[in-house]
Amino acid sequence: MTEVLILGAGYAGLRTLKILQQSHTDFHITLVDQNNYHYEATDLHELATGNQPKERILYNISDVIKPDKTTFIQGEVVNINRDDKNVSLKDGKKLSYDYLVVSLGFESESFGIDGVEENALEMVNIDSAESVQKHILARMEDYRESKNPDDLKIVVCGAGFTGIELLGALHEATPKLAKTAGVDPKEIQLYCVEAVTRLLPMFDEKLAGWGIDKLKSWGINFLTGKPIKAIKPNTVVYEDDAETGTTSELKANTIIWTTGVRGSHVMNDSGFSQRRGRVMVKADLTDPDFANVYILGDVSAVMDEESKRPYPTTAQIAIAMGTQAAENIENQLNNKPTSPFKFKSLGSVASIGNTQAFGLVGKTPVRGYPASVVKKGIMDRSLFELGGTKEVMSKGRFDFYH
Ligand code: NAD
């Protein structure tokens, strides 16, 4: 029987699976993921700050598997051999395929900056987000003995969407953290060090400024136009003056690295023609050299013909790619032509805490509490597209937790 192999149960992979499972065409699907759960990558900051338990941002893959159509294998992909049409797992298993969907997701990008891996915390999956939370709590507990103000200092490196949402969530977590440390919440210091001065370039200056000013009004300190040059133990080293190259140091016992992501290392390891783990795919989302290989989500770069730049890597786009790939595979199986990927953004909204957000819905700017409601709607829609109503009912964000 024709075999469709899906690598990765993130937004793109699960969406492909969900649509393909509804097909009446005769084929079998195998889904591989290193975990037996899917996690909401867009919500990792909630786990990292302790605002939500991990159970609220992950769900079991078995809940979306239809056993008559799909087999799930828990395993780590180490190599993809497109010539021989097989995939190797770390435990030595080899899986053959007729059609392949590569949706292996993202990793933290250090840009080769010294000391990042050793001295900064990343926040890219459930385990690393949980480690951030444990680290922050441990430093707060240390403070009760040490009285060292660096135990109460948290630096977020990079003010992209991830950094901004993390800062908002950290601010929200401050009262609880202050209680743990036995201090006034004002004694907890939050910093953000960012290379550029014009933040969040996907928004106009007024909208981006609204969000940053809100965070500043909560006491968050921004050092902008300060590229980070190295991370030393408990110290961020940044360029203070571009002309002279002078550097300064910011000491803190919690340093979180959110300066951008790259696609899975498996792409490079398997000889794909890639840049930072992303492969430039054809308009129908297939590999330029293999019409039976689809590359989706954070390991994929697809050209937006309107802006003449690749689409950004977001959950929304990954889900849309999954839908298109599933339709195209179904067409190929029925000897019909594939269609090009088209994307119409619902908008992009950054949450800053549970009740504030800012961003664009279509082309309309939204900010404040109404924006946070829109954001929850976007998140619930993605949950619905992946899992179905059951997930939205049990995890949907209509039940405010404050
Ligand atoms: P990003 O690349 O969007 O932002 C990284 C930030 O770090 C940039 O502002 C960059 O200037 C800064 N930076 C890079 N190197 C630096 C250095 N050496 N020193 C200091 N600052 C440095 O990365 P991200 O925020 O992780 O987002 C990744 C993708 O995920 C983006 O496409 C983003 O839009 C998407 N995302 C979307 C949402 C949402 O829709 N709500 C949330 C999170 C992420």
Measured between alpha carbons, how far is 257 from 120 in angstroms, rounded to an integer? 6
Chain mean pLDDT for the chain: 93
Largest CA distance in the chain: 70
Matching residue, tokens 């500043």: 216
Beta pairing partners, 366: 359
The answer to whether the CB of 318 is under 6 A from ligand 1 is no
Q: Does the pLDDT at position 299 exceed 90?
A: yes
Q: Pull the structure tokens for residue 151.
A: 């135990």
For ligand 1, the distance from its centroid to the CA atom of residue 260, given in whole angstroms, is 4
**Taking the mean position of all CA atoms in its chain, how far away is CA 310?**
17
Measured between alpha carbons, how far is 361 from 345 in angstroms, rounded to an integer? 8
The answer to whether the CB of 190 is under 6 A from ligand 1 is no
Q: How would residue 394 be classed by pLDDT, with cut points 50, 70 and 90? A: low
For ligand 1, the distance from its centroid to the CA atom of residue 258, given in whole angstroms, is 7
Measured between alpha carbons, how far is 7 from 287 in angstroms, rounded to an integer? 15
Q: Pull the structure tokens for residue 192.
A: 């953000």
- Give catalytic residues, as residue numbers: 165
Q: Is 7 in contact with 101 (CB distance < 8 Å)?
A: yes
Candidates 96, 108, 222; CA nearest to 167 is: 222
- Could you give the strand order of the β-sheet that contains 246-251, starting from the edge strand earlier in sequence? 228-232, 235-241, 246-251
Tell me which residue has its CA closest to atom 18 in ligand 1.
228
Sorted by sequence, the CB contacts under 8 Å of residue 42 that are 6+ apart come out as 315, 379, 382
The answer to whether the CB of 201 is under 6 A from ligand 1 is no
Q: How would residue 397 be classed by pLDDT, with cut points 50, 70 and 90? A: very low
Q: Pull the structure tokens for residue 85.
A: 């049409």
SS3 350: strand
Radius of gyration, alpha carbons of the chain: 22
Q: Is 119 left (phi over 0), alpha (psi -120 to 50) or beta?
A: alpha
Residue type, 384: F
Q: Does the pLDDT at position 402 exceed 80?
A: no
Beta pairing partners, 37: 60
The answer to whether the CB of 234 is under 6 A from ligand 1 is no
Q: Is 163 in contact with 194 (CB distance < 8 Å)?
A: yes
Measured between alpha carbons, how far is 118 from 135 in angstroms, rounded to an integer? 14
Q: How would residue 354 be classed by pLDDT, with cut points 50, 70 and 90? A: confident
Measured between alpha carbons, how far is 123 from 110 in angstroms, rounded to an integer? 12
The mean per-residue pLDDT over the stretch 264-291 comes to 97
Going along the chain from its start, the domains and CATH numbers come out as 3-108+262-343 (3.50.50.100), 116-259 (3.50.50.60), 345-402 (no CATH)
pLDDT digits (tens, 9 = 90+) for 205-215: 999 999 999 99
Compute how many other C-beta atoms are within 10 angstroms of the C-beta atom of residue 77: 22
Q: Is 101 in contact with 325 (CB distance < 8 Å)?
A: yes
Of the residues 247, 259, 307, which should be mutated to test ligand 1's pocket, given the most ligand atoms within 8 Å of the CB?
259
The answer to whether the CB of 259 is under 6 A from ligand 1 is yes
Tell me which residue has its CA closest to atom 2 in ligand 1.
260
Q: Does the pLDDT at position 259 exceed 50?
A: yes
Lowest mean pLDDT among 98-112, 317-331, 357-371: 357-371
* Prediction ipTM score: 0.95
Beta pairing partners, 3: 28
Measured between alpha carbons, how far is 276 from 178 in angstroms, rounded to an integer? 39
Tell me which residue has its CA closest to atom 9 in ligand 1.
160
**What does the pLDDT read at residue 401?**
29
Q: Pull the structure tokens for residue 33.
A: 């993921």
pLDDT digits (tens, 9 = 90+) for 364-381: 999 999 888 888 877 777
Candidates 384, 385, 288; CA nearest to 15 is: 385
Measured between alpha carbons, how far is 187 from 318 in angstroms, rounded to an integer? 40
Q: Is 133 in contact with 47 (CB distance < 8 Å)?
A: yes
**What does the pLDDT read at residue 380?**
72
Beta pairing partners, 77: 89
Q: Is 77 in contact with 32 (CB distance < 8 Å)?
A: yes
